[in-house]
Amino acid sequence: MDILSIGGLILGFGSLLTAFIIEKGNPAKLLQISAAMIVFGGTIAAVLVSFPMSQIKTAVKHFKLVFMDKKIDFASVVEQLVQLSDRARKEGLLALEQEIPNIQNPLLKKGLGLVVDGIEGEVIRDILDREVYLAEDELKEAAEVFEAAGGYAPTMGIIGTVMGLISVLSNLTNPDELGPAIAVAFVATLYGVSSANLIWLNFGKKIKTKAKQERMLNEIIVEGLLSIQAGENPRILREKIGGILKEAKQQQAQAGEAASAPIGG
C-alpha cells in the first residue's frame, strides 16, 4: 500500500474536521446528503460527458496506482542489464535466449527477444520507443480524468450552494432559521473545494508521478538493450544508464523548482 496517499487523505480530512470542532462546529452539520449528491454526482456526470468510455475505463483501471506503491528498483534493472551485456560479450547474443523466460519486466523481455532475433538497432528502438510512449500515454489519460474531476468539483459545490440559497431565500417566514439554513447551503462549497484539492487533483498528480518513474525505467531498458545489441562494454552500458538517471533527476528537480516558484518571479 502507498502509505503517503492513505496518510495524506487521513491527515487532510482529519485536520479539516478537527479545526471545525475547535471552532465550536458540530460535525453532524457537515453530513448533508443533498450536497453530496450535487457535488459528487454532478462531478462524476461531468466527467462522463467529457471523456469517451475507453478513457473512463483506463482511469478506473489505473486508479489502484494511487494507493498501491509499485516500487521501481532501478539498481536491480541496471545490474540485470550489465549481466546480460557481460554474457553477450562472452557467449554471443544467441546465448541470451536462455535468459528470456526468467525476465519479469515485459518491455525488457520483448526487447531482449528482438535483440536475440537479430533485429537492427534502429528498428528495435522504434518498436520499444512506441511501447514506452503508449504505456506513458495510457497513464496520462487516466490522470487527465481525475484532474478534470478536480476542476468540476468546486463549480458543482458553488452550484449546490446557490441552489441551497435559492431554497432558503424563497422562504423567509422564519428569520430564526435563516442563519443555520444558509450555513447548511455552504456545505456544498466545502465538499466541492475539499474534494478537488484533497482527492481528485492529487489522484491525477500521483498517477502522473508514477508514469514518469515508469518512463525513466523504460528508457533505461531501451538504452541498455541497444548497448547490448551493439556489443558495447558493460562499463559503457553502466555509464550510459547512470547519465539517464542523473538527467532525469535534474529534470525532476527543475520541475519542482518551477512549480514552487512565485508567479512573476
pLDDT tens for each residue of 3-27: 888 999 999 999 999 998 998 888 8
pLDDT of residue 176: 66
Conformation bin of residue 231: beta by default, left when phi > 0, alpha when psi is -120 to 50: left
pLDDT of residue 72: 78
- Looking at residue 51, the DSSP 8-state letter turns out to be S
Domain extent listing, the chain? 3-258
Which residue in 166, 148, 159 sits closest to 187, CA to CA? 159
* Average pLDDT taken over every residue of the chain: 87
Give the whole-angstrom CA distance, residue 52 versus residue 168: 38
Q: Look up the pTM and report it.
A: 0.82
Would you say residue 248 has pLDDT above 70?
no
Q: Which amino acid is at 80?
A: Q
pLDDT of residue 262: 45
Site of grid cell 528470456: 100
The whole-number average pLDDT for the span 75-88 is 89
Give the whole-angstrom CA distance, residue 218 versus residue 139: 14
Which residue in 160, 213, 214 sits closest to 36, CA to CA? 160
The whole-number average pLDDT for the span 241-255 is 66
The grid cell for 42 is: 454532478
Q: Which amino acid is at 17?
A: L
Q: Which amino acid is at 79?
A: E
Would you say residue 254 has pLDDT above 60?
no
Burial of 120 (0-12, 13-18, 19+ CB in 10 A): exposed
pLDDT in tens, 201-242: 999 999 999 898 899 899 899 989 999 998 888 888 888 787
